[in-house]
């Protein structure tokens, strides 16, 4: 009896163990030889690694659960089933790595979905590549280096292009970029920089905020942003961190019509917050969210998700299904379909699954879904605007068509979204710019400032003012401004006033200097660069025309002339009968050779040898004349401008930065320095009783001086030590780039040149910084050509003499043969016959 009871107990235990095994097999992957469930379905393990406690992690997990249920409810006849093995990473990298090792080595999964953080995805891809198991990440970027890594999110380059299109649409030129100080937050930076560069947009300031930043840290960073003139801010961070940022920005009154806030897809889910104070702080902001075509399936899925999710998590921070959850839903459908095609899991199941996933394509909840490039296909973005504590779709961006607007409130002539109306404010500055100008007594050609004390109105004229007005009037928007005059201060003082925001800009003859650029931004220069040396032209020299050649070269040229004349005369005398005396022949040949210098000879030579000698002489003459002309021209334009005094005094622009190192940089270290404060002082200093050898000043000042005192003075050298004059604006001001662009335009189309002619009456020659004083030419430069000429003449003379001797030998032989009558007539005939 006891034995029978024992048998019943054993049988019950066996049945219980079998039942437990059956239950476990429904929730975990069995060993390789136990991969069929009780319904004879072949099981394939799918690993899930998420931070289950996070809102995104919960959303993705529930979306995966619904996707598996919906797929197999529709495809109940499929012989395969996906079995999910979830691991909670708790946002910790070590736990995620431990989970993937367990899933790959112990559970033997054939694919992994997750995680949702950037760093974990990169590390996990190393494991999956080795195990040849696909991983579908919501944070990592696809790469050919990781063939098993799939990107289940929008591409960062696509996000960057959409933002750049919006910024370009409203003609913004400068933006501030705030991102979370993580790998994920920095990933978009290179793509954003490239897209902005293509469209001429500049990131004025980049702010990185730690994920663990305190409220004080955020406040400090926002105060820093307020010091910049740029008011277009792009935010790229998690919704939780962005919530603290916007609440503090609201408190600091940065969420106003003067600021434009743009939220990337990473941040845009903050617009669906259920907290009133958060939505209030976002009023007027623009955001980009992945666009999914409206469909009945999408509507039903989001409705079901809300019912299930809010029953379990009623205190959720958002009201809508997040984008990663929708991508996850379609990913599960793709995987389940590929698993059915692969069939029974085996040792190469991950590789086979990879090949099928790369080929998959279907119409999913998100639209056309495919992973052929190891990332999801983008449908573009919808552009939303926060209006009256809710969001409103105002436009779309697609890769093929760019931005397509839905609402008339988006107009390219506007700039910011108003928190109250949702409309964009105009690009014109909201206030009249205060332009600082320096009132000086001298050097008024650049800035001549007059202040009327009765009306308290400041007017200004001059070359600098004309350039500034021309640029401002050419801008596509109006810039109201007033001049504010300052006396007894320097441009360094005005730069500090710009830095302290007492004034908005400075117009005048302000030199672009590195130490000033620390506190303010300069436009492109509108004048010549560098400093120059101004001297008085010395008195004329009546023998100046001899200076191109030194004495040795003149003597050599004359000797060469005499030698050529003698050789040609000798050859011609030996080869023709002439009624002229030798002296007359020599005179004729001399003038003949001399006139070759002017190519005016009329006489003809009878000997080929004399013609050849003359040809070589003509080459010598051509080279000498060309060199003489070039050297004489250089001497006339440069060498005559020498320092006439030996007392070593160099003057400079008094009250400027020119004293000291700047003057020393152009090699006047040994000279005494003396400051002068007006053009009249310059002219007197360079006079015979003025005492200065030269004046060193910036080239724009020297050119203006020469337009007033022309004829007796000259700019003899220049060095690119300074960067010219530029207009000064506050750091980050968008006017810097716009005005610089206009300066480049008026320089190109000749407008700037016309303004220069208006104020600079005379056209001036500015020597190159590499120009050197020309030197007198010496014989060593022409030795070769004279040697050739001498050798040629000597050889020609020798050949002529040899030919003459040979002719005489032939005459002697003929006399012996002929003899007899008419002997003397024959001799005379042969003697004077031209043999050569």
Angle among Cα 26, 31, 33 to the nearest 5 degrees reads: 105
Nearest to 131 by CA among 102, 92, 89: 102
pTM for the whole structure: 0.56
Alpha helices in 408-490 (DSSP H): 463-474
Give the integer Cα–Cα distance in Å for 242 and 240.
5
**Pairing label, strands 42-50, 80-88:** parallel
Nearest to 356 by CA among 375, 346, 377, 370: 370
DSSP 219: H
Identify the segments of the chain with pLDDT beneath 70.
Answer: 1-39, 118-124, 316-319, 344-348, 406-431, 538-545, 575-606, 635-648, 655, 657-671, 677, 711, 761-777, 807-836
Q: How buried is 387 (Cβ within 10 angstroms: 0-12 exposed, 13-18 middle, 19+ buried)?
A: buried
Give the integer Cα–Cα distance in Å for 487 and 449.
10
Kindly state the tokens that stand for 127.
Answer: 């494991």
Q: What is the pLDDT of residue 35?
A: 66
Give the integer Cα–Cα distance in Å for 67 and 326.
10
Contact between residue 260 and residue 233 where contact means Cβ atoms under 8 Å apart: yes
What phi and psi, each to the nearest 5 degrees, are found at residue 486?
Answer: -130, 135
**Pairing label, strands 202-209, 174-180:** parallel
For 120, the enclosing helix (H) or strand (E) is helix 118-131
Q: What is the pLDDT of residue 162?
A: 93
DSSP string, 376-418: PPP--EEEEEEETTEEEEEEEEETTTEEEE-STT--TTEEEE-
Beta-bridged to residue 58, according to DSSP, are: none
Q: How buried is 203 (Cβ within 10 angstroms: 0-12 exposed, 13-18 middle, 19+ buried)?
A: middle
Please report, to the nearest 10 degrees, the dihedral formed by the alpha carbons of residues 54, 60, 66, 69 taken in order.
-110
Compute the Cα dihedral for 162, 163, 169, 174 and give only its sign: negative
**For residue 455, what are the contacts with CB-CB under 8 A and spacing of at least 6?**
none
Q: What is the pLDDT of residue 262?
A: 95
Return the number of other C-beta atoms located less than 10 Å from residue 396's C-beta.
18
DSSP 511: B
Cα–Cα distances in angstroms (integers) from residue 374 to residues 149, 153, 379, in the given order:
7, 11, 16
Contact between residue 240 and residue 268 where contact means Cβ atoms under 8 Å apart: no
């Amino acid at each position: 009896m006891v034995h029978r009871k024992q048998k019943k107990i054993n049988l019950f235990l066996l049945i219980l163990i079998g039942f437990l095994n059956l239950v476990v097999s429904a929730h975990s992957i069995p060993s390789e030889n136990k991969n069929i469930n009780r319904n004879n379905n072949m099981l394939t393990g799918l690993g899930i690694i998420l931070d289950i406690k996070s809102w995104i992690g919960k959303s993705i997990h529930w979306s995966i659960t619904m996707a598996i249920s919906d797929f197999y409810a529709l495809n109940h006849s499929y012989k395969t089933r996906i079995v999910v093995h979830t691991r909670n990473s708790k946002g910790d990298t070590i736990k995620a790595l431990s989970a993937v090792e367990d899933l790959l080595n112990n559970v033997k999964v054939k694919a992994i979905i997750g995680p949702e953080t950037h760093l974990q995805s990169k590390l996990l891809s190393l494991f999956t590549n080795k195990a040849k198991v696909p991983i579908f990440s919501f944070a990592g970027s696809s790469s050919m280096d990781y063939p098993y890594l799939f990107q289940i999110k929008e591409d960062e380059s696509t996000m960057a292009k959409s933002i750049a299109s919006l910024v370009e649409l409203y003609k913004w030129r400068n933006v501030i970029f705030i991102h979370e100080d993580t790998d994920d937050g920095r990933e978009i930076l290179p793509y954003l920089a490239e897209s902005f560069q293509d469209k001429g947009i500049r990131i004025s300031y980049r702010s990185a905020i730690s994920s663990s930043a305190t409220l004080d840290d955020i406040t400090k960073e926002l105060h820093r942003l307020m010091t910049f003139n740029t008011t277009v801010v792009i935010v790229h961070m998690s919704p939780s961190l962005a919530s603290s940022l916007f609440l503090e920005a609201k408190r600091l009154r940065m969420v106003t019509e003067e600021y434009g806030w743009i939220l990337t897809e990473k941040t845009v889910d903050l617009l669906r917050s259920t907290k009133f104070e958060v939505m209030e702080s976002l009023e007027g902001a623009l955001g980009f969210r992945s666009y999914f075509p409206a469909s009945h399936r999408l509507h039903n899925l989001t409705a079901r998700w809300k019912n299930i999710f809010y029953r379990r998590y009623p205190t959720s921070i958002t009201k809508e299904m997040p984008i990663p959850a929708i991508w996850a839903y379609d990913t599960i459908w793709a995987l389940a379909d590929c698993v059915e095609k692969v069939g029974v899991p085996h040792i190469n199941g991950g590789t086979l699954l990879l090949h099928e996933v790369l080929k998959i394509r279907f119409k999913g909840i998100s639209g056309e879904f495919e992973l052929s490039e190891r990332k999801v296909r983008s449908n573009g973005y919808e552009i939303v605007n926060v209006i009256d504590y809710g969001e409103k779709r105002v436009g779309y961006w697609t890769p093929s068509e760019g931005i397509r607007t839905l609402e008339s409130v988006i107009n390219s002539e506007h700039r910011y979204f108003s928190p109250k109306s949702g409309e964009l404010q105009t690009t014109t500055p909201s206030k009249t710019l205060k332009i600082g100008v320096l009132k000086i007594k001298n050097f008024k050609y650049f800035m001549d400032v007059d202040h009327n004390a009765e009306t308290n109105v400041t007017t200004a004229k001059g070359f600098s003012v004309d350039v500034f007005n021309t640029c401002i009037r050419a801008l596509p928007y109006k810039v109201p401004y007033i001049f504010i005059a300052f006396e007894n201060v320097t441009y360094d003082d005005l730069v500090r006033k710009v830095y302290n925001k007492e004034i908005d800009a400075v117009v005048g003859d302000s030199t672009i200097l590195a130490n000033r650029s620390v506190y303010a931004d300069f436009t492109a220069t509108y004048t010549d660069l560098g400093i120059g040396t101004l001297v008085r032209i010395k008195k004329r020299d009546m023998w100046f025309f001899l200076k191109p050649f030194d004495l040795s070269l003149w003597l050599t040229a004359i000797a060469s002339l005499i030698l050529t004349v003698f050789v040609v005369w000798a050859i011609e005398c030996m080869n023709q009968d002439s009624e002229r005396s030798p002296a007359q022949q020599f005179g004729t040949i001399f003038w003949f050779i001399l006139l070759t210098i002017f190519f005016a000879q009329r006489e003809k030579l009878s000997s080929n040898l004399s013609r050849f000698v003359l040809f070589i002489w003509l080459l010598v003459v051509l080279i000498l004349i060309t060199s003489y002309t070039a050297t004489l021209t250089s001497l006339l334009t440069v060498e005559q401008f020498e320092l006439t005094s030996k007392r070593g005094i160099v003057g400079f622009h008094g009250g400027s930065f020119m004293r000291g190192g700047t003057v020393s940089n152009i090699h006047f270290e040994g000279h005494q320095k003396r400051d002068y404060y007006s053009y009249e002082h310059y002219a007197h200093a360079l006079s015979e009783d003025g005492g200065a050898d030269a004046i060193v000043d910036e080239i724009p000042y020297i050119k203006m001086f020469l337009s007033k005192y022309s004829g007796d003075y000259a700019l003899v050298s220049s060095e690119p030590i300074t960067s010219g004059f530029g207009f000064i604006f506050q750091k980050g001001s968008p006017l810097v780039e716009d005005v610089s662009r206009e300066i480049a335009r008026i320089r190109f189309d000749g407008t700037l040149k016309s303004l220069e002619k208006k104020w600079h009456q005379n056209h001036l020659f500015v020597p190159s910084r590499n120009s050197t004083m020309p030197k007198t030419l010496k014989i060593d430069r022409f030795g070769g050509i004279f040697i050739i000429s001498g050798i040629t003449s000597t050889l020609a003379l020798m050949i002529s003499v040899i030919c003459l001797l040979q002719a005489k030998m032939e005459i002697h032989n003929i006399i012996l043969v002929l003899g007899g009558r008419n002997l003397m007539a024959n001799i005379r005939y042969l003697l004077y016959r031209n043999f050569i």
